[in-house]
Amino acid sequence: MLKVNLNPSRLAVGQRSIHYAWAIVVVAAAMRLSASAVRTSFSILVPRFVETFGWSYGAVGIALSLQWLVSGLFGPGAGWLGDRYGIRRTMLFGAVVFTAAMVLTSQVTHIWQFYLFYGVLLSVSLAIFQVPLTAAVTMWFHRHLGVGMGILQASQGLGALVFVPLVLFIIHVFGGGENGLRAAFWVTGIGGGVALAILVRLFYNEPADIGLRPLGASEDEPIRRVARGRTAQIRTKVFLKLAQRTNTFWNLIGIHFWGCAGHAIILAFLPSIIEDRGLGRSLAASTFIVLSVMSTITRFGVPVLADRIGSKGVMAACFILQSAPMILLFFAYEPWMFYLFAVLFGIGFGGEMTAFPIINRQYYGSAPIGTAYGWQMMGSGVGMALGAGIGGFLRNWTGNFDATILVSLTLSLIGVVAILLLPTTSHHLLPDWEEALPQEARSAG
Indicate the pTM of the whole model.
Answer: 0.71
Per-residue pLDDT at 157 exceeds 70? no
Q: What is the mean pLDDT of residues 94-109?
A: 90
The predicted pLDDT at position 207 comes to 85
Higher-pLDDT residue of 46, 306? 306
- Per residue in 171-228, pLDDT (tens digit) is 888 887 788 888 888 888 888 888 888 888 888 888 888 888 888 877 777 776 665 6
The architecture CATH gives domain 19-207+225-441: Up-down Bundle (1.20)
Average pLDDT score over residue span 270-275: 80
Residue 2 pLDDT > 60: no
Burial 47-60 (b: 16+ CB within 10 A, else e): bbbeebbebebbbb
Q: Is 50 exceeded by the pLDDT of residue 393?
A: yes
Q: What are the boundaries of each domain within the chain?
A: 19-207+225-441
Residue pLDDT, tens place only, 349-364: 888 777 888 888 888 8
Q: Is the confidence at residue 61, as pLDDT, over 80?
A: no
For the cut 70, the answer to whether the pLDDT of residue 38 exceeds it is no
pLDDT in tens, 67-85: 778 887 887 788 778 777 7
Cα 443 to Cα 445: distance, rounded to the nearest angstrom: 5
Confidence of residue 37 (pLDDT cuts 50, 70, 90): low
Query: In the structure, what pLDDT confidence band is assigned to residue 169 with cuts at 50, 70 and 90?
Result: confident
Question: What's the pLDDT band for 445 if we cut at 50, 70, 90?
Answer: very low
Q: What is the pLDDT of residue 14?
A: 72
Residue 396 or 431, more confident: 431
- Give the pLDDT of residue 227: 57
The three-state (H, E, C) secondary structure of the chain, written as one string: CCCEECCHHHCEECCEECCHHHHHHHHHHHHHHHCCHHHHCHHHHHHHHHHHHCCCHHHHHHHHHHHHHHHHHCHHHHHHHHHHHCHHHHHHHHHHHHHHHHHHHCCCCCHHHHHHHHHHHHHHHHHHCCHHHHHHHHCCECCCHHHHHHHHHHHHHHHHHHHHHHHHHHHHHCCCHHHHHHHHHHHHHHHHHHHHHHHHCCCCCCHHHHCCCCECCCCCCCCCCCCCHHHHHHHHHHHHHHHCCCHHHHHHHHHHHHHHHHHHHHHHHHHHHHHHCCCCHHHHHHHHHHHHHHHHHHHHHHHHHHHHHCHHHHHHHHHHHHHCCHHHHCCCCCHHHHHHHHHHHHHHHHHHCCCHHHHHHHHHCCCCCHHHHHHHHHHHHHHHHHHHHHHHHHHHHHCCCHHHHHHHHHHHHHHHHHHHCCCCCCCCCCCCHHHHCCHHHCCCC
Per-residue pLDDT band at 39 (split at 50, 70, 90): low
Mean pLDDT of 339-354: 86
Q: Is the backbone of residue 216 left (phi > 0), alpha (psi -120 to 50) or beta?
A: left
Most confidently modeled range among 60-64, 255-259, 300-304, 368-372: 255-259
Q: Which of 55, 206, 168 is nearest to 118 (CA)?
A: 55
Whether 86 has a pLDDT exceeding 60, the answer reads yes
Strands of the sheet with 16-17, listed across from one edge: 4-5, 12-13, 16-17
pLDDT of 409 over the 70 cut? yes
What mean pLDDT, rounded, does the chain reach? Answer: 82
Burial (CB count within 10 angstroms: exposed 0-12, middle 13-18, buried 19+), residue 204? buried
Closest by CA to 239, choosing from 145, 149, 365, is: 365
